[in-house]
A and B are shown apart, each in its own frame.
Chain A
Amino acid sequence: GIQVEQSPPDLILQEGANSTLRCNFSDSVNNLQWFHQNPWGQLINLFYIPSGTKQNGRLSATTVATERYSLLYISSSQTTDSGVYFCAVKSNTGKLIFGQGTTLQVKP
């Protein structure tokens, strides 16, 4: 089946710093999403981005489907950005498969 790899697995930032999270996938996908899991366990939709670039405030994402990767950019990080960031891809069979996540800690 399709494999999804995220990097780095863990990231510690000082408040105000920028970061880039990466998601690689092993096969053609029909869509790709980025999620943030907050400290209470809730999964928050960040981007639905099968291709191209999108921006939402301090966050932006780019997916290059032909090269099988996606990037999530966080600028001017805040302590509330802490948590786990997941990417998930959907194969042509309909399965939505998650990467292992990047755990982000933003220190004040």
Chain B
Amino acid sequence: TAGITQAPTSQILAAGRSMTLRCTQDMRHNAMYWYRQDLGLGLRLIHYSNTAGTTGKGEVPDGYSVSRANTDDFPLTLASAVPSQTSVYFCASSDRQNTEAFFGQGTRLTVV
């Protein structure tokens, strides 16, 4: 089973450009999450979605937007990238609200 797939694996992006990080899961999980991981700061929640059609802000939502048009996909968009958005981005999903979450392999983004 594929589980959660993130794309691209890594990317170098010029400041000011836009980019969408893709996340797809094939487990029919209701909830999905986006995190960023910076050295020494652990994983911080950017946005989340408890079910298709709904989204919520996490701990560090500024500069990012998400959509949840269907159950399987949860793209994260940077409208105008800045160097402080250089990070490793992880997507996760879980079946109902109170069950185990599983993570993708991450996307390493460098904004120059």
Interface residues of A (CB under 8 A from B): 1, 30-31, 33, 35, 41-43, 45, 48, 50, 86, 88, 90, 93-101
Contacts and interface: CB of A to CB of B under 8 A. Distances in A.
Interface of B: 31, 33, 35, 41-45, 48, 50, 56, 58-59, 88, 90, 92, 94, 97-103, 105-106
Nearest to B40: A100
A31 B99 contact: yes
A99 B45 CA distance: 11
B100 A33 contact: yes
Contact of B56 (A42, A45, A93, A98): A93
A96 B100 contact: no
Contacts of B59: 1, 97
B1 to A, nearest CB: 14
B98 A31 contact: yes
Nearest to A42: B105
A108 B44 CA distance: 33
